[in-house]
Amino acid sequence: MGGEPGRKALDAALEDAPGARGRAPRRRWPQALGSYALTLLALVTLNFLLPRAMPGDPIEALAAEGSGGFTFGEQSRQALEEYYGLDGSLLEQYGSYLGRLARGDLGRSIATLAPVRDEISRRLPWTILLVGGSLLLATGIGLLTGVHAGWRRDRPLDRTLLTVLLAVRELPTFLLGSLLLFLFAVKLEWLPLAGAQDTFGSFGPVGKVVDIGRHLLLPLVVLGLGLAVGTYLVMRAGMVTQLGSDHLLLGQAKGLGQRRLKYRYAARNALLPVVSLAALQLGFAITGDVLVERVFTYPGLGRLLFDSLTARDYPVIQGVFLVVSVTVVTVNALADGLYRRLDPRTVA
């Protein structure tokens, strides 16, 4: 056996061992910022190129939308291109786009001539309400169901949830949306059919909130349910993995109660992948938002994006893409930070 001197020597050695010497330094700020800036530049470039890669262009779309059979002559077309700043080479256009962007100018819509900034800021609150709300709803439902189902794996509750939620996920958004609309708005007439608020009603502050809530409910549920399934599956899988873990067994041997083991031990550990997922979910949520806003005629960014895509309205498409990509990058950065706070192992 080692004996006292051996132990002392070992202790000294352990103190000097790398892993034992407290935490490694954090990743430096400039480095992190630099990588995010690079990501953003790549996104801006893609946002500029993608709309232009679609067949057709805004001028053609204008013509199609206007009086039937009206066609441009070569000269008027050139004049229009010049007017909308579409006349230069791709590189020139890109340069001037970056230049204006640097000054905070998003340009004007080709279809409506309104400043893109106004078009976006008018609709952004509705989308924040819808997407943000459904992400919260999805995370809430997903966590709750995932924790309980995973903890009672293979019991009736778990089996039921698994079947029902997987079935919900397989329903296309527009189908689920139309079904709910038909049921609650057309048949039962409990909820409004379209829009975000009642334009003609005059409400007090409380009435206004209720009105907005009633309009929000169905789109929120349709968008949220689909997202909740992802969170639920990841959380459930995490809990199931935790069930057999050694630290849970030690917790049990310490005499800890079920509640503490379930939440402080199992759920807390299973939560980590959900944080990463939540940031990814934002991307899915925005995709879903475009569809849901179509179905419910909701006046948010999704509708704006859909309309501007149809009109090949480059400045608006770029503007919406920009807002979306900046948001996604920011949220991912936040999730990164949150993850670091939640898991001490990622700090080193």
Contact residues for another protein, defined by CB under 8 A: 1-3, 6-7, 10-12, 14-15, 17, 19-20, 22-23, 245-247, 249-257, 265, 268-269, 342-345, 348
- Least separation in angstroms between CB 10 and another protein: 7
Rounded Cα distance between 120 and 117, Å, is 5
- Least separation in angstroms between CB 152 and another protein: 12
- Least separation in angstroms between CB 8 and another protein: 9
Between vectors from CA 338 to CA 335 and to CA 341, what angle results, nearest 5°? Answer: 155
Task: Return contacts of 160-163, CB within 8 angstroms, 24+ apart.
Answer: 161/232, 162/236
Nearer to another protein, 3 or 204 (CB): 3
Go through the chain and tell me how many residues it has. 348
Nearer to another protein, 165 or 261 (CB): 261
Nearer to another protein, 3 or 25 (CB): 3
Nearer to another protein, 202 or 258 (CB): 258
Residue with tokens 């990463």: 276
Nearer to another protein, 9 or 136 (CB): 9
Instruction: Give 242: exposed, middle or buried? Use CB within 10 Å, 0-12, 13-18, 19+.
Output: buried
Nearer to another protein, 6 or 172 (CB): 6
- Least separation in angstroms between CB 199 and another protein: 51
Three-state secondary-structure class, residue 199: coil
Two tokens, residue 282 = 């934002």
Provide the sign of the torsion angle of the four alpha carbons 176, 178, 181, 182, taken in this order. negative
The per-residue b/e assignment along 144-165, b for 16 or more CB within 10 angstroms, e otherwise, is ebbbbbbbbeeeeebeebbeeb
- Least separation in angstroms between CB 158 and another protein: 15
- Least separation in angstroms between CB 38 and another protein: 31
From residue 326, how far is each of 43, 107, 250, 309 by CA, in Å?
9, 18, 44, 19
